[in-house]
Amino acid sequence: MTDSRFPSLTVIDHPLVQHKLSLVRDRDTRPIQFRQLLREIGLLMGYELTRDLPLERRPIETPITAMEAPFIAGPVTMVSILRAGLGMAEGLRELLPGAKEGHIGLYRDPETHQPKEYFVKLPAEPGRVLLVDPMLATGGSAVHAVEVLLARGVPAAEIRFLCLIAAPEGVERFAGAHPDVPIITASLDSHLDDKAYIVPGLGDAGDRLYGTSHPEPEVR
Ligand code: PRP
Ligand code: URA
């Protein structure tokens, strides 16, 4: 599904993705189930995210005959924005077990909402880059992560950004900064609240994934 306001945005409205997203949003969903759902959604959304990967033909032998068979051409790298990106990357890894992996560590300053970078590790020749973070809120983190990739020589045309929930404010900022980078999401939510959380959203994705929310969930 596309949105006329945002030409670079695709919203995946597949019923399985929407069902799992509703479970993820539910405040009573605990970290273990949250993690499992992010993995499953990453895998399902990965189907759309990888739709335009280039193919090349290579010779193989089937039990019947020789043929030129299509294979994914060139390297693919999943880049997780830490911490929460790791949850969806688990699902992508199942789809693309041969992919390289990179990490960009960012956290949002609670007062200014500006991203603070604390870690970057990327492969030297990443090829197609699938940048993953479940939340596109103000857009500061995703915009910064794309800038890190561009500074390392990754062409914008090779980057795809996968998120679970996007706020219109974040999509506007990201599309303004990086109009050539497609955004794939499962939901364009309503707006940001006064603490720059997405409404209705799912709360703090990293905290829910790792059980670091306050109060911390009971150990069961
Ligand atoms: C969350 C989320 C994004 C960012 C989105 O990370 O995973 O990276 O906020 O917000 P933005 O669009 O306004 O930049 P957070 O900073 O909470 O770090 P964490 O994943 O380590 O919890
Ligand atoms: N980061 C999150 O984890 N959730 C939001 O709603 C906004 C930023």
Cα 16 to averaged position of ligand 2 atoms, centre (Å): 23
CATH of the domain at 117: 3.40.50.2020
Q: What is the pLDDT of residue 217?
A: 66
Report if residue 63 sits inside a domain: no
> Whose CA is closest to atom 5 on ligand 2?
197
Report if residue 84 sits inside a domain: yes
Report if residue 62 sits inside a domain: no
Average pLDDT, the chain: 96
Cα 60 to averaged position of ligand 1 atoms, centre (Å): 44
Give me the mean pLDDT over the 4-30 stretch: 96
Report if residue 25 sits inside a domain: yes
Cα 144 to averaged position of ligand 1 atoms, centre (Å): 12
Give me the mean pLDDT over the 45-62 stretch: 97
Q: What is the pLDDT of residue 219?
A: 63
* 55-66: pLDDT as tens digits: 999 999 999 999
**DSSP conformation letters of the chain:** -EETTEEEEEE---HHHHHHHHHHH-TT--HHHHHHHHHHHHHHHHHHHTTT--EEEEEEE-SS-EEEEEEE-S-EEEEEEETTHHHHHHHHHHH-TT-EEEEEEEEE-TTT--EEEEEEE--SS--EEEEE-SEESSSHHHHHHHHHHHHTT--GGGEEEE-SEE-HHHHHHHHHH-TTS-EEESEE-SEE-TTS-EESS-S-HHHHHHT-SSSPPPP-
Is 198 near ligand 2, meaning CB less than 6 Å away?
yes
pLDDT value at 215 more than 90? no
For ligand 1, what atom is nearest to the CA of residue 85? 7
Quote the domain boundaries for residue 27. Answer: 2-54+72-210
Name the residues annotated as catalytic.
108, 112, 204, 207
Confidence of residue 2 (pLDDT cuts 50, 70, 90): confident
Report if residue 43 sits inside a domain: yes
Residues with CB under 6 A from ligand 1: 81-84, 106-108, 113, 115, 133-142, 170, 196, 204-207
* 154-185: pLDDT as tens digits: 999 999 999 999 999 999 999 999 999 999 99
Report if residue 34 sits inside a domain: yes
Q: Which ligand lies nearest to the CA atom of residue 205 in the structure?
A: 2
Per the confidence metrics, is the pTM higher than 0.85?
yes
Report if residue 102 sits inside a domain: yes
Q: What total number of domains does the chain contain?
A: 1
Confidence of residue 1 (pLDDT cuts 50, 70, 90): confident
More confident residue, 20 or 110: 20
* 121-138: pLDDT as tens digits: 999 999 999 999 999 999
